[in-house]
Structure 1
């Protein structure tokens, strides 16, 4: 049984093509800019069986085309890696493309088995610098980088996702540092720059939580373009989402 927060049909931002996106409940990070703080607590959400998700995927198959499929996001989906294994086995058996969007902080035997049934990983690297990563997320980045190395060793197709937060994750030296690390990963097919936004602020108010970085402005086009130019030195395909 999977603990699910919500489901998005006809998603176009979480992997290739048109996708069914399942957002799981529960996350082990507390990112300062999290747009979905209501996914953090594990105990809420609703329970769904793998079979029910498979049925939804089958009903939407006509929209997927050649590239679409199913993306499991969150929250942090690898917190439920063991429960995802039977779902991904069923999806693969029925010819669906499988994708996981993860912060990369968990690598255990269940995750390793799950990755054997995964076509694409969207790896959210929050920061290349350990101290700055901890300031952003509450956690060090060592586990994320360990998973990045494992994905490269196993040649698991991977897209890197990077949120460009003004004053927090847009330092040019850090962008070059991340770029150099990614350049060593032959499995990385694309890097997606995700602009910082405040679309989830109203959710903090509903939860009675304080939004931690209210004074941080949205990215300028110049900031996004500069980051894209830097990453293009290291990754063949860079896009701004």
Structure 2
């Protein structure tokens, strides 16, 4: 997702859409979506090496987003699911050898739920890959039960526990994300929670404790990634002529990150 703050990965633009042959069109009508790019990555996109499809469009406008160029769906390339699957199929053996899989990210994938659902289904059943959905949870109501059955892991951003801070960070209310998290818990869905630590914004002890207590109480969170804020995406904000309001905000120290991880561990969570 565009709001996550692991090391920034060079991405390849999605290839132009290839026209289907008459025979193919008669037997299969793949969905199409707005795709920003795709690439192979390791890190916070799920276990092992991942084929990550970055979709365009996001309802959030996070202050620390390192890919603001994915916010508008119109800035992506209209691409068929067939094209994405064909590209991913080139790397299946390499991905499988690493214990990896495929991740649908963004932007916000659930802004395009039909396209996202087809990608997850085909990555899992045609290519045999472990699947992950990278989401803020704000549009969790758009995730059908079928889509979630085709999802082995949900990478869920919980950006703040304090509703006012959450709205300051994202421009949106917190409740839909929490409702989606509870739904995933009821389904027993494997979840990795990501929390971005921003000094002076999300680092208030009560805020950290709130996220940790909530995640620890769900019963289905197998990992928490505490991600230190960085400014590697600032150049993209400048290129888009958008003010980067966190320009003077420092990255947290290793000690600050370690302390926050300990808060999550105190609630029985595997925090890294």
Q: TM-score, normalised by structure 1?
A: 0.95
Q: 1:28 matched to which residue of 2?
A: 59
1:78 aligns with 2:110: yes
Assess if the C-alpha contact under 8 Å between 1:88 and 1:117 holds in 2: yes
Q: 1:234 matched to which residue of 2?
A: 267
Rounded Cα–Cα distance in structure 2 between residues aligned with 1:47 and 1:207: 21
Q: 2:81 aligns with which of 50, 54, 58?
A: 50
Secondary structure at the residue paired with 2:208?
Answer: helix
Assess if the C-alpha contact under 8 Å between 1:9 and 1:20 holds in 2: yes
Using the TM superposition, give the Cα deviation of residue 11 of structure 1 relative to its aligned residue in structure 2, in angstroms: 3.4
Using the TM superposition, give the Cα deviation of residue 33 of structure 1 relative to its aligned residue in structure 2, in angstroms: 0.9
Assess if the C-alpha contact under 8 Å between 1:182 and 1:235 holds in 2: no
Secondary structure at the residue paired with 1:43?
Answer: helix
Rounded Cα–Cα distance in structure 2 between residues aligned with 1:136 and 1:110: 23
Assess if the C-alpha contact under 8 Å between 1:74 and 1:101 holds in 2: yes
Assess if the C-alpha contact under 8 Å between 2:103 and 2:134 holds in 1: yes
Secondary structure at the residue paired with 1:16?
Answer: coil
Q: Give ranges in structure 2 of 5+ residues lacking alignment.
A: 1-31
Rounded Cα–Cα distance in structure 2 between residues aligned with 1:212 and 1:111: 36
Q: 1:167 aligns with which of 197, 200, 212?
A: 200
Rounded Cα–Cα distance in structure 1 between residues aligned with 2:98 and 2:62: 34
Using the TM superposition, give the Cα deviation of residue 101 of structure 1 relative to its aligned residue in structure 2, in angstroms: 0.6
Using the TM superposition, give the Cα deviation of residue 17 of structure 1 relative to its aligned residue in structure 2, in angstroms: 0.5
Secondary structure at the residue paired with 2:73?
Answer: coil
Rounded Cα–Cα distance in structure 2 between residues aligned with 1:84 and 1:222: 38
Rounded Cα–Cα distance in structure 2 between residues aligned with 1:236 and 1:211: 33
Assess if the C-alpha contact under 8 Å between 1:133 and 1:139 holds in 2: yes
Q: 1:6 aligns with which of 33, 37, 43?
A: 37
Q: Which has the larger radius of gyration?
A: 2
Q: 2:14 matched to which residue of 1?
A: none
Superposition RMSD in Å: 1.3
Q: 2:172 matched to which residue of 1?
A: 139
Assess if the C-alpha contact under 8 Å between 2:47 and 2:100 holds in 1: yes
Rounded Cα–Cα distance in structure 2 between residues aligned with 1:236 and 1:104: 20
Rounded Cα–Cα distance in structure 2 between residues aligned with 1:226 and 1:11: 25
Rounded Cα–Cα distance in structure 2 between residues aligned with 1:182 and 1:87: 28
